[in-house]
A and B are shown apart, each in its own frame.
Chain A
């Protein structure tokens, strides 16, 4: 029986290997399809993670507020928040303390924050000048408030926590534009505001930017709620919702392109396989004249198709990963990991597609009349 299998494999292998031009063209058709499918599936899977990171440029997606009647929490809670989210990729956690102060005798809400974290959480803030340096008497003014004061970068302003409190001179380190309420406020380093207002160690809220979308973000909220005392975490719904919508549409687009490519590959491979059948018509006729039945012909062509699918699938899966890697590096600026699951899926899909694409040509092959070998066609 072995020699029968061996002969079958000999015919299937050599019908391709000893006809290199045809093999190359067919393999190219399968490999291109497999490359795009494997690449697109990788991109489809990676898009949510990559886009989630990209969305972090649009601000925090999680707000942590004092729970119940509290108006502030201890800044010790920031560590607990970080620990609760240890399994997530945290972009930044920016604490904020808000209090009303007089700047150049004008009442204004002043925010105290960690500017290093703020830049990670809200990279969209447009700054003219510099962020205040820790330990220096520097203040960042919102553009609207700066205009009200007539202050510019480098101007000197007075700051006081209220009537009867000490008045201190500060230098305007920069003016910030956000297109939001932040432009009406002034900002100083957190520790300075805590000192000036006598609220040492207090924080009004924390803005958290974490790489997660949809359900995973909901999970993150639950983890913070469970792992941190005295706080109520809230989703920034506007951001989370927009993220979900854009991601959904993007994934749908990638899926659509993948399906279109799949259909095109099927057509392309079918056409190539039909050309192979036409080219091998005489050979099929000969085999039938020698005693091959339709089952033999079907098995040989399906064997050919599956083998082509396997070869093309292996080449295409490798190239597809490189394609997805290149897309990811160029579009998102980050690489992606090789996924054995996608590789296996792509390989199996290539074999199935080539097998399916062989069905019509195989049907044509079985209809070849053995008498053509006597007609000298």
Chain B
């Protein structure tokens, strides 16, 4: 059974605007899949559905054996919290919390904050020595690594990364991609949305979406 199974997924807004049509996608445990496509192609809509932040208007979505097609908002919140780790293009670190506190926030909403474990997660991505710095005191690359540590802290079954290198310089891009490669090697399942051909090429599989349709896989 696939870790993530999308069957004939469609998304319409107000019954008129068709953002996605008949999307079929299967992601196995340990896969690294890149979703690519131009702006407005429906990538973000697909991310919202997979990330349990929205529900499809047609088709079915099963994540880790749970059918999330018609899940209520509280159910989606619980599934998102327990099964998904998110990495954002703009990092989205809470500006008034230190790096380690930002990681602990994810633990706080999931189960129980544990500083030692949060430090270990930061060490895993190479920023443990910056644990007590505020995001404004960190470089873009460091912020993204904190964001990855936060995504990993609750042992998610799926890492969802939205343009993870979109705001980074080349050196930091390479650093972050190296971390993703290591995570993949460790068996993590990764789904990235990207414009970058380099990020797309690093993935095992690339899915292209245009005008809400899946063009290539």
Contact = CB atoms under 8 A, between A and B. Distances in A.
Interface of A: 1, 3-4, 6-8, 10-11, 14-15, 17-19, 282-283, 286-293, 296, 369-371, 373-376
Interface residues of B, number: 35
A371 B106 contact: no
Contacts of A292: 77, 109
Contacts of A296: 109
**Taking chain A's interface residues, is the majority helix, strand, or loop, or is none over half, making it mixed?**
helix
Contacts of B29: none
A374 B161 CA distance: 10
A4 B90 contact: no
Interface string B148-162: 001000000000001
Given A373-B86, A373-B92, 10 more contacts: A3-B112, A4-B112, A7-B108, A11-B108, A14-B97, A19-B96, A283-B95, A289-B51, A370-B80, A371-B48
Given A283-B94, A374-B88, A290 B134 contact: no
Given A11-B105, A289-B80, A371-B53, A6 B113 contact: yes
A290 B109 contact: yes
Nearest 9 interchain pairs by C-beta: A291-B81, A18-B96, A291-B109, A371-B53, A7-B113, A7-B108, A14-B96, A286-B92, A3-B113
Given A11-B105, A18-B134, A291 B88 contact: no
Given A18-B95, A19-B96, A7 B105 contact: yes
Nearest to B54: A371
Q: Which of A4, A6, A282, A289 is the most central at the interface, judged by chain B CB atoms within 10 Å of its CB?
A: A289
16 contacts: A3-B113, A3-B115, A4-B108, A6-B113, A7-B108, A11-B94, A15-B96, A18-B95, A18-B134, A283-B95, A289-B92, A296-B109, A370-B80, A373-B92, A374-B48, A374-B88
Most chain B beta-carbon contacts within 10 A, residue among A11, A14, A371, A374:
A374
A255 to B, nearest CB: 40
Contacts of A11: 94, 97, 105, 108
A370 B53 CA distance: 7
Contact of B90 (A3, A14, A19, A376): A376
Contact of A282 (B44, B92, B113): B92
Nearest to B43: A374
